[in-house]
Amino acid sequence: MSYTTYYDYPTQTTYYNNLFVIKFAQYEDNTCKVIDMNVFILYDQSDRLFYVYGSRKSDDYPRHENFVKSFKYIDDMWNFLKVIMDIEQLYVETYVYKLDGISEHADYDEFASATDGMNEISGYCKEKFNKYRFKTYLSAIL
């Protein structure tokens, strides 16, 4: 999947259009009442890296920090997500979004505010993942 970019000379910033991202929202336990962790995953074609933007910030965890981590290999990203989200054992909500106007300096909060039902391509509740299923989802953003 190919995104387009445009460069804003006054701000010296690159913006992305037609950028597909995956969101995983992991429940605290299998009662599916409290979301514990959210991550957005995107693939940067020019860097040839996957980026994971995540947060545990919520009403229950207001002081938690956002983070971003890059990965060259899908297996390394899978292992990281297993550690921070336990996506093989706990239920996960999954979404694919098409975003426009995201800056190269975006952080978790920008992704969270840019995603809504209007740019949601797909969404599923109560899923558990194995590596094969995870790689299938990644094909939606490549």
Grade residue 23 by pLDDT with cuts at 50, 70 and 90.
very high
Supply the pLDDT for residue 89: 86
Mean pLDDT of the region 57-73: 82
Q: Would you give the end-to-end CA distance of the chain in angstroms? A: 5
Does the pLDDT value for residue 108 go beyond 60? yes
Neighbours of 29 (CB within 10 A): 11
Supply the pLDDT for residue 34: 78
59 lies in which domain range?
4-138
pTM, to two decimals: 0.89
In whole numbers, what is the pLDDT of the chain averaged over residues?
89
The total of structural domains in the chain comes to 1
Supply the pLDDT for residue 96: 95
At residue 130, φ and ψ (nearest 5 deg) are -120, 175
Q: How far apart are CA 40 and CA 16, in angstroms?
A: 15
Grade residue 121 by pLDDT with cuts at 50, 70 and 90.
very high
**Alpha-carbon distances, residue 142 vs 6, 42, 128, 138 (angstroms):** 19, 9, 22, 7
Does the pLDDT value for residue 76 go beyond 90? yes
Q: Position of tokens 């989802």?
A: 137
CB proximity list for 105: less than 8 A, separation 6 or greater: 13
